[in-house]
Amino acid sequence: MVNILLIVVFLLLGFFLQRFKFVPANTSKYLNNYLIYVVLPALALRYLPQIKLRTELFLPVAAAWIGFGLSWLIFGTLGKKYGWGNSITGCLVITAGLANTSFVGIPIMQALYGEEAVIIALLIDQAGSFIIVSSVAVIVASIYSVGKKRKRDITRKILTFPPFLFFLIAFGLNFYGLEIGGRFEALLQVITATLTPVALTSVGLQVKVDFAALKSKFLWYGLSYKLLLIPLVILLLFKYVFQLEGLILQVSVMEAAMAPMITGSIIAITHDLEPKLASLLVGIGIPLSFFTLAIWYFILS
């Protein structure tokens, strides 16, 4: 219960800090850089070397790919049928298709299910969401926008991204049966302990709520898919088709039910794919997701 309250407190802290002029406008950028270059690599080194790899762990990773693939299929088809235009269609595919599995997802999984859930969430984020947002999402953005992105640039971005590099290093340690101990392990514990306060404060700083735009039907199309439809699909598919149960099922569904990813919205915005809608999906999606996540948590309990 205390962990859940901390999540709400730091999210609200970030949201209210937006109102004070003494807080630099680029504070969230610095916090995000700390998370990307320090905390996420530390999480990988702390948890992944000790994980026992099992076939069923590939399913949570697959959930992220299913979520994005189904988003492309549904919104791509509907966009063509009803003539939404490339800008709206591309925005919905990318922003609704990607879940905030790291900055919001990992702290919530840790609070709800404990340390073991962090390992599963980290797998979903690094082998699923990150690779998608760094490659397939950029390709989709290029298809629906005027500008093009070279394949070489996409590959370089993936291979030089610090969390992904440490993700590979951690799995190398796992493969050779090596674990990190001593003072370095203690340092990793201190660093990873900062995940929740820093990540949720950063998210709160970036949330922009535009109540005047709540009438947009495309906003609700995207949020209905992200917060309701795709977690339902993952629940039914994993539970009744793949016979998955327990913590892996819970984390897979809950991570699928996370609000749209901030990085995904940034990709849509930088490719001029309905920037206002992309921002709105995140700004409304994150606070709304706390209510829908509570419902999914109750269903899975």
What is the Cα–Cα distance from 121 to 104, expressed in whole angstroms?
11
Q: Residue 292: which H helix or E strand, with range?
A: helix 275-300
What's the whole-number average pLDDT of the chain? 87
- Triad 259, 118, 186: Cα angle to 5°: 130
The helix/strand count (H/E) of the chain reads as 18, 0
Query: Is the pLDDT confidence value at 221 over 70?
Result: yes
As given in the structure block, the two tokens for residue 256 are 């699928």
What amino acid occupies position 235? Answer: L
Q: What is the pLDDT of residue 265?
A: 86
Residues 238-267 have a mean pLDDT of 93
CATH number, domain with residue 177: 1.20.1530
What is the Cα–Cα distance from 29 to 27, expressed in whole angstroms?
5
**Burial profile 31-59: b = 16 or more Cβ within 10 angstroms, e = fewer:** bbebbbebbbbbbbbbbbbebeeeebbeb
Query: Is the pLDDT confidence value at 6 over 80?
Result: no
Query: Is the pLDDT confidence value at 151 over 80?
Result: no
Q: What is the pLDDT of residue 219?
A: 95
Phi and psi dihedrals of 260, rounded to 5? -55, 145
Q: Are the CB atoms for 219 and 284 separated by under 8 Å?
A: yes
As given in the structure block, the two tokens for residue 1 are 């219960």
Residue ranges of alpha helices (H) inside 176-259 are 182-192, 195-206, 217-224, 230-236, 246-256
At 78 the three-state DSSP class reads helix
Report which listed range, 144-148, 206-210, 218-222, is most confident: 218-222
At 173 the three-state DSSP class reads helix
Q: pLDDT tens digit string along 67-121?
A: 999 999 999 999 999 999 999 999 999 999 999 998 789 889 988 998 889 989 9
What is the Cα–Cα distance from 20 to 45, expressed in whole angstroms?
36
CA-CA-CA-CA dihedral for 15, 20, 25, 30, to nearest 10: -60
Domain count, the chain: 1
Query: Is the pLDDT confidence value at 187 over 70?
Result: yes
What is the Cα–Cα distance from 21 to 64, expressed in whole angstroms?
38
**pTM (two decimals):** 0.83
Report which listed range, 29-43, 97-111, 124-138, 249-263, is most confident: 249-263
Q: What is the pLDDT of residue 242?
A: 93
Q: pLDDT tens digit string along 19-56?
A: 887 888 888 888 888 888 888 888 888 888 877 777 78
Range of the domain at 35: 2-300
Query: Is the pLDDT confidence value at 1 over 60?
Result: no
What is the Cα–Cα distance from 275 to 125, expressed in whole angstroms?
24
Q: What is the pLDDT of residue 67?
A: 97
**In the 8-state DSSP scheme, what is residue 146?**
S
Tracing tokens 């900055």 back to the chain, one arrives at 103
- 150 pLDDT tier (thresholds 50, 70, 90): low
